[in-house]
Structure 1
C-alpha cells in the first residue's frame, strides 16, 4: 500500500485556537508539510484545486513546482485538478512543464470539482459540468499522447493539427479520476482504463463502495483486465496515539470545533458525536492497531491500494501533528505495506512507454 499526504490549503481560523495565519504563513506551512512528508517516508504529496473561499489552492501547479524544487523523491499529486473549469490546452502546458521540472514525479487526480462559487466564477453550469470534464479530459489525454491534435470541441475553440509545447516528459502522465458522488466520473475512468480515487471523506463507506463496485463492473464491460485495476481512497482525519483514549481525547476539541463550524455555515452534519465519527467515518483516530484494523475494514469494501491522509495539522498542535505522522509511519504504515498490495504499476516516472491508442476500448 502507498500513502499520500494531501492538502486543500484551507485558510480559516484554527479550529481550536481561533488564530488565523497570514496567507504567506499558510503557504509556508504547506511547504513545511511537504518537506515533512518526504522526510517521514510518504509516497506522495498532493495539493487540491479550489477557486473559492476559504481555499488558497487556486494554483496547484505553482505550489507543486515549488514543492518539486524543495524535494527529491516524493511523487506530486493534484487533488483534484478541476478540468471542468479549465482549458485543457492551457492545463496541459502547465502540467507538462511541472512534470519536466520535477523529473517525472507528477500524477494527476482529475475531477469536475465542487462548489457553486467557482462554477459561477468560470461560468460553468451544473448541467454542463460533467460534459466539460469529459471533453477536457479527452483533449488533454490526446495532447499528451500525440504531437498534433485535431478535435471538434464544444467548450473551447476547435483544434486543427494543433501542436502544444512542451512535449511531455512522462509518456504519458498517470491520471486518476476523483470519485465522490456520481457514476459519470467512474465510467470515464473505466472507459479509458485509468485508476480511480474515491473521496471517501464526507459519509460512511457504503456510497463510496457502491461507486467503486460500479467502476469495477464498467472496467470489465470496456474489456480491461481486472488485474490492472487501481483504487485510491481518502480519509476524514488522522490522529494516531499510543492508546485509543489518548487519541480520542486529544482529537475531541478538533472535532467539536469543526462540528460548530459546519452548523454555523449551514453544512450538512453527518456525524453528530466524536464517537460516531471515530466509528463510522473514514477518520483514522486511535492506537496504531486500531488504525491498522480500520484501514483493513475499509479495504474490504474498496479494495484500495493507495490511501491519502491529511497533510495539515487541522487544529492539532504542531507537536501532536508531527508525533501522529511519525507514529503512523513507524507503527502503522509498515504493517499495511506488508499486508495490502501496492497498485499494479511502478511507483515512478512512466518512462519509456509505447504510444497508447488514441481511442478508448469500446463495448
Structure 2
C-alpha cells in the first residue's frame, strides 16, 4: 500500500524587507507542533533534513525526531536527509536506534550526500573526497544495520575490531533509505545494496526521471533482490489550501524568495512566475493548490513511476505556521484518503 508523508528542511522565515531571520528555537517548536498534527490526521511518515546554515533551523534531525517521538503514536519518523558523507556512521546509527527505541519502532534513516556542502569543512572533511566518503560510509552503515558485532576497516576512519554497537533498534535493524538526485551511479549503488530509493524531483518535468526509475528496478532485479521488497518514492515540493488560486498566489513570493536565495550561490537566474505556473501543471514538479488538484497530481505521479511512497516537501521558504497547519490538515484529512481510495479502486 502506498505511503504518503511530509518532508521538511526546517526553513526559517526571512523578512523580505528587513532581512530579519526567525529564531531557530521558534521554528523548532513549530515543527514539533506540526509533526504532532501530522500524527493526529493520519500522515504516514515525517522526514526532516540536516543543514548547517542560518536559513535552516535543524542541524541534527535525530534530536527533532526524538522530541517528536514522545508526542506521537503512529507516524514514522525519519531524516530527509542525514548527510552521511560528513557524519560518523556508528554515531548516526546509535542516534537513530535511540529514536527507534523512544518511538517503539517508528524510526527510519534516509542517507544522502547532501546538496549543500557546509557540513564538510565544519566536520573536517575534504570536498575532493565527496563521492568516496559516501560510498565507504554507506557500506559501513549497512553493515552496522545487519551485524551486532562488527569488524571493519576503511580509508576515512580507524578500523572497528570485533566491536559491539549499542543500543540496537527495536527489531535489531532500521529501515534505511537512500536519497538520490539524478545520477545513475547513485541509483545503481542503492539497488546493489538492496536499499529503497527516494528521488528528489524539485525541478523540470517529472517524466524526465522515468529512465532512472527503470534503471533502478532493473538493477534491483539484476542484483538478486526480491521485487516484494522493492520500495521507491519521490520527494516533491508541495503546499495546499482551500482555494487553488488563493494558495498559489500567496505561496509564490515565499517560494520564489527561497529559490532566489539558494540560486544566488549557485548561479541560477531569477525565479519566474512562469516556472512556478508550469511546475503547478499536471506535467510539473510542484503540487501547490487545492485538494482536488493535489489528488490528481499525486495520483498521476504515483502511477507514472509505480511508487510505494510519496513525500510532500511542505516548508520551502517557511510559510506562516498557521498556513502550514492548514496545509497539513488538508493533506491528512482529505488528500491522503482520496488518493488511497482511488488507488484501491484501481487495483
TM > 0.5 fold call: yes
Between the two proteins, the alignment pairs up a number of residues equal to: 340
Cα 1:256–1:155, aligned 2, differ >3 Å: closer, same or farther?
Answer: closer
**In structure 2, do the counterparts of structure 1 residues 44 and 219 end up closer, same or farther at CA, with 3 Å as the change threshold?**
same
- CA shift, 1:271, in A, is 6.0
Instruction: Point out the more displaced range, 263-272 or 300-309.
Output: 263-272
Q: Secondary structure at the match of 1:170?
A: coil
Identify the residue that residue 283 of structure 1 maps to in structure 2. 286
The runs of 5 or more residues in structure 1 that have no matched partner are 342-363
1:229-252 deviation per Cα after TM superposition (whole angstroms, max 9, x unaligned): 21111111212324x333333333
Task: Say yes or no: does 1:226 pair with 2:224.
Answer: no
SS in 2 for 1:235: strand
SS in 2 for 1:178: strand
Match of 2:194 in 1: 193
Q: Please give the alpha-carbon distance, in whole angstroms, between the structure 1 residues aligned to 2:73 and 2:322.
A: 25
Aligned-residue offset at 1:313: 7.7
How far the C-alpha of 1:158 sits from its partner, in A, is: 1.0
* Structure-1-length-normalised TM-score: 0.84
1:224-263 → structure 2 map (5 Å cutoff)? 224-242=225-243, 244-262=244-262
Q: Distance in 2 between matches of 1:14 and 1:302?
A: 38
The Cα of 1:170 is off from its aligned counterpart by: 2.2
**Aligned partner (choices 294, 302, 305) of residue 302 of structure 1:** 305
Q: Over aligned residue pairs, what C-alpha RMSD do you find?
A: 2.5
Name the CA distance, whole Å, in 2 between partners of 1:210 and 1:271.
Answer: 27
Aligned counterpart, 1:327? 330
Correspondence for 1:87 = 88
Shift of 1:304: 1.4
Offset, 1:275 = 1.5
SS at structure 2 position matched to 1:38 = helix
Residue pair 1:35, 1:70 contacting (<8 A) in 2 also: yes
Task: Give the stretch that moved more between structures: 248-257 or 44-53.
Answer: 248-257
Q: What residue is the counterpart of 1:59 in the other structure? A: 60
Give TM-score, length-normalised by structure 2. Answer: 0.88
| CA distance, structure 2, for counterparts of residue 269 and residue 70 of structure 1 | 42
Q: 11-20 or 97-106, which moves further after superposition?
A: 11-20
